[in-house]
Amino acid sequence: MWSKQSGDASGSIDPVPEHPHAHPVRGAWLVRVGDGPALGWVLRHRADLAEPFSYEVYACGLGADGLRVWVARRETLNAAVAWVVQHDRELLAFGRRLRPDPTQPHDAAAPGAGDGGVGTR
């Protein structure tokens, strides 16, 4: 969907960046705080081999074209996750207007019925 590689690409990143709210899933990071709903995705990206990596933020859900919707770019994983956490309400509201993503992990929404998190549709 957003990668030309199959499988988890995190093994090719050395060292793998970490953040307590960023959970590695198939070569990207799913951002959630504690047991709360998934807030968004972060993907490490480099436009050219000579360029430094950036961290792209995507909403949970698919746009009309069937792809994830890009919402922001930051220079580090920490900055990208911080942006997602700071914009949690906007991202949740936006994600509810998008189409469900069949490839999103089934546990991306917070545990329990009626939490209103993305992926609970």
In order along its 121 residues, the chain shows pLDDT tens digits of: 554 444 555 545 566 678 889 988 888 999 999 888 899 999 999 888 888 899 999 999 999 999 999 999 999 999 999 999 999 999 999 999 999 988 777 666 544 333 334 443 3
Q: Is residue 58 part of a domain?
A: yes
In a domain, 74, yes or no: yes
Q: Which of 26, 102, 21, 22 has the alpha carbon at shortest distance from 61? A: 102
The structural domain count of the chain equals 1
The answer to whether residue 83 sits within a structural domain is yes
Report if residue 118 sits inside a domain: no
Of 45, 98, 97, nearest in space to 73 by CA: 45
- Domain annotation covers residue 110: no
Euclidean distance between CA atoms 75 and 87, whole angstroms: 17
- Please indicate, yes or no, if residue 5 is contained in any of the structural domains: no
Domain that holds residue 91: 10-97
Distance CA(81)–CA(83), nearest Å, equals: 5
Could you tell me if residue 103 is inside a domain? no
